[in-house]
C-alpha cells in the first residue's frame, strides 16, 4: 500500500498552470473555512472499528483493504476519513485519500480530446486514484468565469441533506493538480466521491469504478447524475456515448 501512494510530485504539461496538490480558497470563498476543524473525531486506539465516530458519521465502513466498498462506490454520498485530531493510528484503514495520489499516473496527448490521464500499472476497482483539486470559488465567480471562458474544467458538487443543499465549486483551470486531465466518458471507469478529512471543504476523490489496465485512459462522467447535455460534441467513442458533453446550464443563468 505504501508503495502505491505518496506525496504529490506531479507537474503540469503547461508551466503557466500553477500546480496545487489540494484545494485552495479562490474568489468569493472564505479562507477561514480551511482553519475550521470537523466536529467529528474518533477516540479509537490503533485500528478503527464499528464504534469509530468517523465511520458512524459516514454510515458504515468506507474501505476494505484500502479499497472503497462496493456500497460506497455505487452510492451518491460523502465519506468521512479519520483526521489529524483523531486518536487512531496513522495506519488506520480509514485513511486513504489523505495518503496522496497513486504513483503510476501519467498525462498523455489523446487524438481528439487534448491531454488525458492514464495509469502505467493495474488499478483495482475501488482504488483511490487522485484528487480533483483546484480553486474553490463562489457561484458568482463561477458564473463570471463560465461566461468569459466557458465552463470547461469547473466542477459543481451539490450535496443534499434533509433540510438544505450545500454547494462546492472547484475550478482547476489555472490552479490545480493532475486530476484536471481526467477526461469525460459516457461509459467511465472512475467516479468522483466527496471526502471530508480535516475541514468542512470536501475533497473530490476519484476512485476506480472497474479494474483499469496499464495504459488505459482514466475517465469519469462529467454529468455527475445530471441529465443535462450541452452543444459541445463528445468524443469518448463508447457504445453509451450521448454524443454531446454534459453541461451545467445553471452557471450561465
Please, are residues 114 and 217 in contact by the beta-carbon 8 Å criterion? no
Residue the block writes with cell 467516479: 191
Q: What pLDDT does residue 174 have? A: 95
CATH (one of 1.20.120.140, 2.40.37.10, 1.20.1260.10, 2.170.270.10) for 18-227: 2.170.270.10
Q: Where are the domains of the chain?
A: 18-227
Residues in CB range of 250: below 8 A, 6 or more apart: 156
Taking residue 197's Cβ as centre, other Cβ atoms within 10 Å add up to 20
Phi, psi (5° rounding) for residue 155? -110, 125
Q: What pLDDT does residue 148 have? A: 84
Q: What pLDDT does residue 68 have? A: 97
- Nearest one of 136, 120, 111, 105 to 11, comparing CA atoms: 105
What whole-number distance in Å separates Cα of residue 126 and Cα of residue 108?
23
- Nearest one of 64, 79, 130 to 103, comparing CA atoms: 130
Q: What are the cell numbers at 138?
A: 463562489
Please, are residues 179 and 130 in contact by the beta-carbon 8 Å criterion? yes
Beta strand residue intervals within the chain, DSSP E: 18-19, 24-25, 63-64, 67-68, 79-80, 105-109, 115-119, 128-131, 134-137, 155-160, 165-176, 183-184, 190-196, 203-208, 219-220, 229-233, 244-246
Q: Per-10-residue mean pLDDT for the chain, 253 residues long?
A: 70 93 96 88 91 94 95 86 95 95 95 95 98 97 87 84 84 97 96 95 97 98 72 91 84 68
Q: What pLDDT does residue 141 have? A: 95
Q: What pLDDT does residue 16 have? A: 93
What whole-number distance in Å separates Cα of residue 38 and Cα of residue 80?
10
DSSP state of 123: B
Amino acid at each position: 500500500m505504501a508503495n502505491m501512494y505518496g506525496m504529490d510530485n506531479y507537474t503540469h504539461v503547461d508551466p503557466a498552470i500553477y500546480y496545487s496538490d489540494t484545494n485552495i480558497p479562490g474568489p468569493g470563498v472564505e479562507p477561514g473555512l480551511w482553519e475550521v476543524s470537523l466536529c467529528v473525531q474518533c477516540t479509537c486506539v490503533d485500528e478503527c472499528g464499528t464504534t469509530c465516530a468517523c465511520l458512524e458519521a459516514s454510515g458504515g465502513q468506507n474501505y476494505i483493504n484500502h479499497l472503497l466498498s462496493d456500497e460506497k462506490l455505487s452510492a451518491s454520498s460523502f465519506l468521512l476519513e479519520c483526521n489529524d485530531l483523531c486518536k487512531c493510528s496513522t495506519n488506520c484503514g480509514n485513511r486513504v485519500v489523505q495518503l496522496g495520489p497513486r504513483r503510476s499516473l501519467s498525462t498523455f496527448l489523446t487524438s481528439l480530446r487534448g491531454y488525458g490521464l492514464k495509469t502505467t500499472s493495474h488499478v483495482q476497482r475501488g482504488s483511490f486514484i487522485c484528487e480533483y483539486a483546484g480553486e474553490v470559488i463562489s457561484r458568482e465567480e463561477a458564473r463570471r468565469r463560465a461566461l468569459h471562458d466557458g465552463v470547461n474544467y469547473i466542477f459543481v458538487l451539490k450535496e443534499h441533506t434533509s433540510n438544505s443543499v450545500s454547494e462546492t465549486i472547484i475550478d482547476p483551470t489555472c490552479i490545480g493538480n493532475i486530476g484536471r486531465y481526467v477526461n469525460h466518458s459516457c461509459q467511465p471507469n472512475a467516479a468522483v466521491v466527496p471526502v471530508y478529512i480535516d475541514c468542512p471543504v470536501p475533497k473530490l476523490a476519484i476512485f476506480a469504478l472497474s479494474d483499469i489496465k496499464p495504459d488505459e485512459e482514466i475517465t469519469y462522467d462529467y454529468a455527475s447524475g445530471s441529465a443535462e447535455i450541452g452543444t459541445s460534441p463528445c468524443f469518448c467513442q463508447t457504445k453509451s456515448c450521448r454524443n454531446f458533453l454534459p453541461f451545467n446550464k445553471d452557471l450561465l443563468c
